[in-house]
Amino acid sequence: GQQLNQSPQSMFIQEGEDVSMNCTSSSIFNTWLWYKQDPGEGPVLLIALYKAGELTSNGRLTAQFGTTRKDSFLNISASIPSDVGIYFCAGAGQGAQKLVFGQGTRLTINP
């Protein structure tokens, strides 16, 4: 089945730093999504991407749908304490009925 590899698994950064994480797939995806999970909560959708090459921003977050359609990137600029959490990528291939999720990137921010 389709698999997603998300990296890094964890990040420890200083407040104010920029953050980058990525996801790669073994097959072509038509949809990429990025979720954030706060402690004790379920994941919440941050950004959805539907077209190869698409670059979409949501405040300090920017995500890109890779041109090969096998990868996606999420960047967070000028990190703040509330950015702490687990970030998941998710994708769906052509005709897929269900999303496939990456393993998650745990972000920790030192004030």
Partner 1 sequence: TAGITQAPTSQILAAGRSMTLRCTQDMRHNAMYWYRQDLGLGLRLIHYSNTAGTTGKGEVPDGYSVSRANTDDFPLTLASAVPSQTSVYFCASSGDRGYGYTFGSGTRLTVV
- Binding region for partner 1 (CB under 8 A): 1, 6, 9, 31, 33, 40-45, 48, 88, 90, 92, 96-99, 101-104
CA distance 52 to 15: 32
Q: Which is nearer to partner 1, 77 or 101 (CB)?
A: 101
Q: Work out how close the CB of 20 gets to partner 1 at its nearest, in angstroms, rounded to a whole number.
A: 19
Nearest residue (CB) to partner 1, 6 versus 72: 6
Query: Least distance (Å) from partner 1 to the CB of residue 80?
Result: 23
Choice between 24 and 103, CB closer to partner 1:
103
26 DSSP 8-state letter: S
Nearest-CA neighbor of 52 among 37, 32, 35?
Answer: 32
Sequence-distant (6+) residues with CB within 8 A of 81 are 15, 109, 111
